[in-house]
Structure 1
Amino acid sequence: MNQPTLAVALIVKNEEKHLADCLNTVKDWVDEIIILDAGSTDRTEDIARQYTDKFYVNSNWPGFGPQRQLAQTYVTSDYVLWLDADERVTSELKSSILEAVQTHPLDSLYKVDRLSSAFGQFIKHSGWSPDWLVRLYPTKLTQYNDAMVHEKVEEPRGTKIHKLQGKLHHYTYDSLHQCINKNTKYIKIWADDKEGKKKSSFSTALVHGFASFIKMYIIRLGFLDGKRGFILAWLTMNNTFCKYADLWLRSSNKDNH
């Protein structure tokens, strides 16, 4: 009986800084690497083609979920492992992935525990860890949902979900500037998606913002992550306030016209 095949799939844009380090952790033990680019203007394509000839471009951005769905159409392997360019597969996780694929259950999804760093430090509390995400599954079994942002793998009824051993290291923010820029993009995407579907108000924005700080810094023990934990909680409070405030302003401005 033939061994099941395994693909790694990524959606990327302007990832020249991270892409090689990510692909170096999988290049020797997967059967294919699928990369769908959203219109990079840096050296992303040049780097990607050093690892795979399965490089595709869709610069007409449909949102994260639909972009992943499109990328999966290029996968020919039995299993697909999803990574982001700023992630690294550890040796223990690699062994667990290969073991899962070799047992080849067609009704199972696999979660990985992602350990994220911010500003040069792994964040072990703050609601960031543990961070279990479905990232490995039989290609024909399922796919990502249609969400524009914070997309998730659909879990068909009757499927089993297993946890893999080992960590997926995630290098999120090198600098505060990078963090703020990324969060600003997510705020707009979220508000675009919720506009007309969800109501907000100025007080709602205040309450959600303040509550997010308490939840992250106190309830989820962000104070144990030191000064970086405080910074992340404060940024989360600001981001949450801005999301709901943006949504309120949009509807308020319409009412005033």
Structure 2
Amino acid sequence: MKITAIILTYNEEKHLARCIDSIKEVADTIVVVDSFSTDATLDIARSYGVDVVQREWVNYATQFNWALTQIAVDTSWVLRIDADEVLSEYLSTEIKLHLPELGSNIEGVYCDRRMKFLGQPIRYGGVFPIRVLRLFRYGRGECENRWMDEHIKVTGLTEDFKGEIVDDNLNSLTWWTDKHNKYSSREAVDMLNLEYDFMVHDSVASLRGSDQAGLKRWVKERVYSRLPCGFRAFAYFFYRYIFRLGFLDGRAGASFHFLQGFWYRYLVDAKIEEVKRHMRENGVDIKVAMHRILGVRA
């Protein structure tokens, strides 16, 4: 059995060594797919002797699915992990002990993903830990073709592990808000596609089974997306911070739930409205408006 880990990078010198250290005992091969970093990312990767390939960035799904074409065909399982994430010791042990025992009908493995914000674990708000599919049989899974919030999808049976992947980004709050400003443009594209249907709709949304990602995506696409712009951001924040007890996460948690649960969502809605206004005022179609306003070619 051979496990290949894929890490997508761009200027990840703060995180890459920590990530590799957490997976090197379980991954037989580590492939770093870099988008032409300008810091020490490549030097760190090469110092570990991992495989390095480079490709211009379009979006996560495109980059990851391209990476799947670059790994060895004798790979048995693929591990998806971000550079600012680490495997818990418990999950590492589960992978080493239990992954070889899984039947050939099991195509993917779910685990928990927990997040830290400003160095503090986020425990409330109903968002962490969340179940994510990060291990899948080579040739049986791929990343959803979306601009934002991408999940790995498989068609066969899955297994649940109890260990965690921990997202612990060490960059500043200024970096975080800049990143989420960029994310909001990409999410606006996905939300606009639900209304205008200008590209293939690829989604794990489902009410069947116990897949948390599928259920949350269904609610987002069938309920949240149909609420009025602006109001839905406030409603979502209120749900997370009050009903799901986000206020128990303290001061760092208050910042996280407000910024990620309200500010970010409201920014997505504001950009959606800006695109629609540009369409009305200039008589252009959705793709032209998105390129002019969001800088995205879909």
Query: What TM-score do you get using the length of structure 1 for normalisation?
Result: 0.90
Counterpart amino acid of 1:27? K
Secondary structure at 1:113 match in 2 = strand
Partner Cα separation in structure 2 for residue 119 and residue 196 of structure 1: 33
Tell whether the 8 Å contact from 2:32 to 2:45 is kept in structure 1 after alignment.
Answer: yes
Segments of 5+ residues of structure 1 without an aligned counterpart are none
**Distance in 2, Cα, partners of 1:172 & 1:217:** 22
Distance in 2, Cα, partners of 1:8 & 1:64: 16
Contact 1:32–1:52 under 8 Å retained in 2: no
Letter of the 1:105 counterpart: G
Aligned residue pairs total 249
Kept in 2: contact 1:217–1:229 (CA 8 A): no
2:151 corresponds in structure 1 to 152
Tell me the residue number matched to 2:58: 62
Q: Tell me how far 1:196 sits from its aligned partner.
A: 5.9
Q: Which consecutive unaligned segments of at least 5 residues does structure 2 have?
A: 197-226, 283-298
The match for 1:248 among 273, 278, 295 is 273
Q: Name the amino acid aligned to 2:4.
A: A
- Residue type matched to 1:153 in 2? I
Query: How big is each residue's C-alpha offset from its partner over 1:82-101, in whole Å with a ceiling of 9 and x where there is no partner?
Result: 11111111211101112232
Task: Give the deviation of 1:140 after TM superposition.
Answer: 1.8
Matches within 5 A, 1:201-212: 204-212=228-236
Q: What is the one-letter code of the residue matched to 2:237?
A: F
Q: Quick one: distance in 1 between partners of 2:257 and 2:114? A: 17
Alpha-carbon distance change, 42 to 209 in structure 1, aligned in 2, over 3 angstroms: same
1:238 and 1:29, CA in 2 relative to 1: closer, same or farther beyond 3 A?
A: closer
The offset of 1:173, in angstroms, is 5.7
1:198 matched residue in structure 2 = 195
Distance 1:102 1:215 in 2: 41
Aligned-CA RMSD value: 1.9
Between the aligned partners of 2:279 and 2:90, the Cα distance in structure 1 is 54
Equivalent AA in structure 1 for residue 52 of structure 2? F
TM (normalized to structure 2)?
A: 0.78
User: 2:78 matched to 1:80?
Assistant: yes
CA 1:147 to 1:106, structure 2 compared with 1: closer, same or farther past 3 Å?
Answer: farther
Q: Which residue of 1 aligns with 2:262?
A: 237
- For residue 174 of structure 1, report the CA deviation from its aligned partner: 4.3
After superposition, the Cα gap between the structure-2 partners of 1:148 and 1:52, relative to the gap in structure 1 and judged at 3 Å, is farther
Percent identical residues: 27
2-side partners of 1:74 and 1:206: how far apart? Answer: 42
Q: Check whether the contact 1:126–1:229 (CA below 8 A) recurs between aligned residues.
A: no
Q: Aligned runs of 1:81-160 on 2, under 5 Å?
A: 81-108=79-106, 109-156=108-155, 159-160=156-157
Cα separation, 1, equivalents of 2:137 and 2:76: 6
- 1:165 partnered with 2:162: yes
Looking at structure 2, the residues matched to 41 and 210 of structure 1 have their Cα atoms a distance apart, in angstroms, of 38
AA aligned opposite 2:86: R
Deviation per CA, 1:203-257, whole angstroms, max 9, x where unpaired? Answer: 9232112112112101221011012222122212111111111111111122123
The separation in 1 between residues aligned to 2:70 and 2:41, in whole angstroms, is 19
- Local SS of the residue matching 1:65: helix
Distance in 1 (alpha carbons) for counterparts of 2:264 and 2:176? 11
Q: Please say if residues 15 and 170 of structure 2, whose CA atoms lie closer than 8 Å, have aligned partners that are also in contact.
A: no
- Mark the CA change 1:172 to 1:17 in structure 2 (over 3 Å): closer, same or farther: closer
Q: Say which structure, 1 or 2, has more relative contact order (CA 8 Å, 6+ apart).
A: 1
Moved more, 132-141 or 224-233: 224-233
